[in-house]
Amino acid sequence: MSITKKILLNESDLPDMYYNIQADMPNPTLPPLHPGTKQPIGPEDLAALFPMELIKQEVSQERYIGIPEEVRNVYKLYRPTPMFRASNLEKVLDTPAKIYYKYEGVSPTGSHKPNTAIAQAYYNKMEGVKALITETGAGQWGSALSFACQQFDLGCEVYMVKISYDQKPYRKIMMNTFGAQVYSSPSDRTNSGRKILAEDPNSPGSLGIAISEAVEMAATTEGTNYALGSVLNHVLMHQTVIGQEAIKQLEMTGDFPDIIIAPFGGGSNFAGIAFPFLRYNLKEGKNIRCIAVEPASCPKLTKGEFRYDFGDAVGLTPLIPMYTLGHTFVPAPIHAGGLRYHGAGAIISQLLKDKIIEAVALQQIECFEAGVKFARAEGIIPAPEANHGIAQVIREAIKAKEEGVKKTILFNLCGHGYFDMSAYEDYFAGKLVDHELTDEQLYSELRKLQTPEAA
Ligand SMILES: Cc1ncc(COP(=O)(O)O)c(C=O)c1O
């Protein structure tokens, strides 16, 4: 039987609104707290880092927020993105499950990250900012922001986690091509970087450390703002263009998802695909399982604690109510650099606490096995982060076969892995290791936390 492989939308189908799940959550998120006073923060506390429009979006309870025409015009370079039926993978797995994936790797820099980078660059430009400063883990976010800043004629400075900086030299060149300056983090350019280097001159870096450097630089440099690629409410909201398109695409097939799966770093690609569908659960009584997949070496959702914690390693950001392993937790240097983050966004954390979403933690070797199986069947080499989602898809597809049930599974292929060949090289050379964390390794940083409980 012939099946439709690609499910494509027209440019006119590009969403014109972002979906804000805050309007539909049964329990609102707890307020972020000032890092010094521990009191709820107001807009003025964030004004040194973000433009007012993004601060408003961060706390907005409006269900839909319009996407500016200038932002939609840049989205048109790659959106709407294609959805594919992973029919070859279904055959390899011999599963009765139908597997669909939304492919965000077609963006100019190869992942979902431009969806928010473009919006953030635009709102900053509108408020007279001259340059943006950020961190990057896998290099995907830094590339996306470099590209977006170039589109709106803004400068861009990126602190790249040392291990990725060393593993992925061509990501740096890509950022340079889009006009950005890139520094290995921890660096000696900031107090935060110098503090970490004094404690551990060989620190592999972490997203938390790089965030500290970028925040410090942005707060102390005239005319610059900070931009974050995940975790914050407005960032997650910008990504909902993915799920809104996916709803239209699945409607074209006549299918509806039983399970939605995405890898999880700080929550943005998961939110992007899952939130618009979760509205059916929250408002129309549907029961789609939405599963976030994190690495076993950084299991904040499955083994972390729900409490207030800092978004960065040094304690410069507001305190956010989140599932965390402690902001000083430095994950093992696995190849999925974008998933090496100690915490999770406030919205995701609240949804998990309320059992509206699920989470699992997987080891990296299983994830690479899954990524290679997918590449051989479907012809796209996924980003190591995306491999985490694919491994869980394969688990669910095999389970459907064992139980003899027909399931429709949708996952977010959030990025390609064409700059991640050294990771695949290590995998084929048998150099990847799984990380079973002892309780001591998992909880030692959490025990040190003196941040407020999140009641
Ligand atoms: C390709 C890719 N997927 C996933 C992630 C994880 O981030 P998030 O959870 O915000 O989607 C990253 C982060 O850098 C990434 O580059």
Report the residue count for the chain.
Answer: 455
In a 10 Å sphere around its CB, with 0-12 CB exposed, 13-18 middle and 19+ buried, how is residue 56 labelled? middle
For residue 339, which of 273, 277, 383 has the smallest C-alpha distance? 383
pLDDT of residue 423: 94
For residue 109, which of 144, 134, 142, 159 has the smallest C-alpha distance? 144
Query: DSSP secondary-structure letter at 223?
Result: T
CA distances from 275 to 54, 138, 405 (A): 19, 24, 25
Mutate to test the pocket of ligand 1, among 339, 352, 416 (most ligand atoms within 8 A of CB): 339
Q: How far is the CA of 62 from the centre of ligand 1 (A)?
A: 26
Q: How far is the CA of 66 from the centre of ligand 1 (A)?
A: 24
pLDDT of residue 112: 98
In a 10 Å sphere around its CB, with 0-12 CB exposed, 13-18 middle and 19+ buried, how is residue 414 labelled? buried
Q: Give the C-alpha separation, 52 to 126, whole Å.
A: 10
Q: Specify the 3-state DSSP secondary structure of 157.
A: strand
Q: Spell out the SS3 assignment of 194-214.
A: HHHHHHCCCCCCCHHHHHHHH
* CA-141 nearest atom, ligand 1: 14
pLDDT tens per residue across all 455 residues of the chain: 689 999 999 999 999 999 999 999 999 999 999 999 999 999 999 999 999 999 999 999 999 999 999 999 999 999 999 999 999 999 999 999 999 999 999 999 999 999 999 999 999 999 999 999 999 988 999 999 999 999 999 999 999 999 989 988 999 999 999 999 999 999 999 999 999 999 999 999 988 899 999 999 999 999 999 999 999 999 999 999 999 999 999 999 999 999 999 999 999 999 999 999 999 999 999 999 999 999 999 999 999 999 999 999 889 899 999 999 999 998 888 888 889 899 999 999 999 999 999 999 999 999 999 999 999 999 999 999 999 999 999 999 999 999 999 999 999 999 999 999 999 999 999 999 999 899 999 999 999 999 999 97
**For helices 207-220 and 191-199, angle between their N-to-C axes, nearest 10 degrees:** 150
Q: Which residue has the tokens 């805050």?
A: 22
Task: Report the largest interatomic distance among the alpha carbons of the chain, rounded to a whole angstrom.
Answer: 64
pLDDT of residue 336: 87
Q: How far is the CA of 312 from the centre of ligand 1 (A)?
A: 17
Supply the residue whose CA is at minimum distance from atom 4 of ligand 1: 385
Task: Record the tokens describing residue 125, joined without a space.
Answer: 């430009």
Q: Give the C-alpha separation, 266 to 269, whole Å.
A: 9
pLDDT of residue 335: 87
Q: How far is the CA of 229 from the centre of ligand 1 (A)?
A: 8
Q: How far is the CA of 195 from the centre of ligand 1 (A)?
A: 27
- Bridge partners, 135 (sequence order): 159
Q: How far is the CA of 264 from the centre of ligand 1 (A)?
A: 7
pLDDT of residue 132: 98
Q: Residues with Cβ within 6 A of ligand 1?
A: 111, 137-138, 140-141, 230, 263-270, 338-339, 383, 385-386, 414-415
135: left (phi over 0), alpha (psi -120 to 50) or beta: beta
pLDDT of residue 380: 98
Which secondary-structure segment (H or E) carries 370?
helix 364-378
For residue 362, which of 302, 294, 264, 262 has the smallest C-alpha distance? 294
Long-range contacts of 365-372 (CB under 8 A, 24+ apart): 365/427, 365/432, 365/433, 365/434, 366/391, 367/295, 367/336, 367/391, 368/335, 368/423, 368/424, 368/427, 368/432, 370/394, 371/417, 371/424, 372/424, 372/427
* CA-339 nearest atom, ligand 1: 6
Mutate to test the pocket of ligand 1, among 109, 145, 414 (most ligand atoms within 8 A of CB): 414
Q: Give the C-alpha separation, 247 to 299, whole Å.
A: 30
Task: Record the tokens describing residue 309, joined without a space.
Answer: 């914690």
Supply the residue whose CA is at minimum distance from atom 2 of ligand 1: 385
Mutate to test the pocket of ligand 1, among 161, 233, 268, 291 (most ligand atoms within 8 A of CB): 268
Q: How many angstroms from the chain centroid is the CA of residue 124?
A: 21
Q: How far is the CA of 139 from the centre of ligand 1 (A)?
A: 10
Buried b (16+ CB within 10 A) or exposed e, 416-427: bbebbeebbebb
Q: How far is the CA of 291 from the centre of ligand 1 (A)?
A: 15
pLDDT of residue 158: 98
For residue 145, which of 212, 74, 76 has the smallest C-alpha distance? 74
For residue 338, which of 163, 215, 166, 217 has the smallest C-alpha distance? 163
Is beta strand 358-362 parallel, antiparallel or unpaired with respect to 289-295?
A: parallel
pTM of the model as a whole:
0.97
Q: How far is the CA of 410 from the centre of ligand 1 (A)?
A: 17
Supply the residue whose CA is at minimum distance from atom 6 of ligand 1: 265
pLDDT of residue 2: 84
pLDDT of residue 139: 94
- Bridge partners, 157 (sequence order): 133, 181
Q: Give the C-alpha separation, 417 to 384, whole Å.
A: 7
**For helices 140-151 and 114-126, angle between their N-to-C axes, nearest 10 degrees:** 40
Cβ atoms of residues 346 and 320 within 8 Å? yes
Q: How many CA atoms lie within 13 A of 30 on its CB side?
A: 21
